[in-house]
Structure 1
Amino acid sequence: MNTIAGDFASTLTQAQPAGATGGRSSLDQTAFLKLMTTQLKFQDPFDPVDNQAMVAQMAQFSQVAGISEMNASLKSISSALGTSRLAEAASFIGRSVLQQGDTAHADAQGRYAGEFTLAAPADNVTLEWTDASGNVLHSQQLGKLAAGTIPFQLISQDENGQPVNAGPLKLRVTGAAATGLSTWLPVTAVESSSNGADAMLVTPAGSIAAGSIKRIA
């Protein structure tokens, strides 16, 4: 008489030879039930499989199957949300977003712009525009300013009034303790993030998460 004894779960990986399921590398619910039926059919009547152990194994299999189905559902939801976020972010193309940082980039009109915050009034504030080496290319005397958010901008044009992209310009505020320095960045494209959690906005400063921007214009 053929007998199947021992832990029921341990038979799952031994019951079928490699390739017997047409290349399937894991057991689905149908295969599990067939295995269980086979075990019941050929069990030793003098040493039957313990009922409690079998119920426990069935519950464990159901739990694992449920987790697998839940993971598949979550992946599907994540994919759908990622597509939705990407479609929503497409409306950002051609516009500018405010992002914290000290490097400004020109938009299509040659405008460099941003803002900073003063916690207290200041009498003689200067905004310096520098190149990557720290050389001052332009200074703006902002004078006496009240506490609060201070917007700024610089228009880059040639002698004919046409926009000129002078490349990235770094900003430095002197004469006051400025915080929250941010610049407007033109959005040229959108792309999905590596984990699909958020849409990425492509700007001259690199790709930034749509959820990290402060404002859009």
Structure 2
Amino acid sequence: MTTTTDSTSSSILSQYAVSNASKTTSSSSSSSTSSTETMGKDTFLQLLVTQMKNQNPLDPQDNSEFVAQLAQFSSVEGINNLNDTVTTLAGNYTSSQALQASALVGHSVLAQTGSAVVNTTSGITGQFDLASASTDATVKVYDASGNLVKNIDLGSQAAGTVSFSWDGTDNEGTVLSSGTYKFVASATVDGSEVAQTTYLPATVTSVTVGSTTGDMTLKLADGSSVALSKVKTIGS
């Protein structure tokens, strides 16, 4: 490659750097978010064509070097196309997730939550998962004011899913009013009391779609929110 070729290529790179620096400076002075421009396939192709136009006819560019540069250009273009494809797929995935999640509105789900709206005339059934066998498992029910209204003694339990039910009455057997109640489960494992994560039935009232391809968020009837991945089962 001749000195002329190197000089011309360096000139193009310098012009690109100055243009990019100008855009970056202008962008940083703005209150809006800035984006950094990177060298793309068009700049790469311009450099390649410039090299070919300014090569020494008495000492032309080696064929193997020319093929290698074409391969590099092909790789750059392929990566750009792959990025576009992945972006499109990510957008389609988010839309598909949102459509599936929106179908849950109005339906009952068994979700990872500590509170639920309870119709005390029909009661409620929940679950928690034991990693190890327990000699004593209990569920405590609190009203909206934080008062303990019910102790549910489940006794010893084997490892696995443990179901519990509350009939809507307090410790004296009086039926309480319907409303939001909190459930706290615990189990004694190897002599130590271990808190358990409860799964309670709730009605989905709305779905929130994140700005990125993340999890959908479900808003439940009690006003709490839970990620779609925290839903254990879906009812009618």
State if a TM-score over 0.5 links the two structures.
yes
Aligned with 2:217 (options 193, 200, 204) = 200
The answer on 1:82 being equivalent to 2:94 is yes
Q: What is the CA-CA distance between 1:155 and the residue it aligns to?
A: 3.8
Name the CA shift for 1:198/1:120 in 2 (closer, same or farther; >3 Å).
closer
CA contact (8 A) 1:113 1:184 kept: yes
Cα gap change, 1:11 to 1:68, in 2 (>3 Å)? farther
Match status 1:164 vs 2:178: yes
C-alpha contact (below 8 Å) 1:2/1:43 kept by paired residues: no
Query: 1:68: Cα distance to partner?
Result: 1.4
d(CA) in 1 for partners of 2:79, 2:197: 45
Aligned residue for 2:229? 211
Residue type of the alignment partner of 1:187: V
* More helix by percentage: 2
Instruction: Decide which of 43, 56, 75 is 1:44's aligned counterpart.
Output: 56
Deviations 1:117-143 (A, max 9, x none): 576697x8653212588641233456x
CA positional deviation for 1:112: 4.7
Query: Which position in structure 2 is the counterpart of 1:13?
Result: 13
Q: Secondary structure at the match of 1:198?
A: coil
- Secondary structure of the residue aligned to 1:44 is coil
Q: Aligned match of 1:150 in 163, 188, 191?
A: 163
Q: CA deviation at 1:79?
A: 0.6
Give per-residue Cα distances to partners, 1:141-198, cap 9 Å, x unaligned. 56x6775632313548xxxx99732x34132457897856322233111122343143
Q: Distance in 1 between matches of 2:47 and 2:151?
A: 80
Among candidates 104, 108, 120, match of residue 92 of structure 1: 104
Matched, 1:61 2:67: no
TM-score (norm 2): 0.63
- Using structure 1 for the length normalisation, give the TM-score: 0.67
| Partner residue of 1:183 out of 200, 207, 213 | 200
Question: What are the superposed Cα offsets for residues 190-214 of structure 1, whole Å, 9 maximum, x if unpaired?
Answer: 1223431432222346433323321
The residue identity in structure 2 corresponding to 1:105 is A
Q: Which amino acid aligns with 1:43?
A: Q
Deviation sequence 1:51-97 (CA, Å, 0-9, x none): 43333232222212211110111110111111011111112112232
CA distance in 1, matches of 2:42, 2:112: 56
Q: Does 1:3 align with 2:16?
A: no
Is 2:122 the counterpart of 1:105? no
Q: Work out whether residues 126 and 141 of structure 1, in 8 Å CA contact, stay in contact via their aligned partners in 2.
A: yes
Amino acid at match of 1:202: K
CA RMSD of aligned residues (A): 4.2
Equivalent in the alignment of 2:30: none
Which residue of structure 2 aligns with residue 22 of structure 1?
Answer: none
> Residues 98 and 182 of structure 1 are in contact (CA less than 8 Å); yes or no, is this contact kept in structure 2?
yes
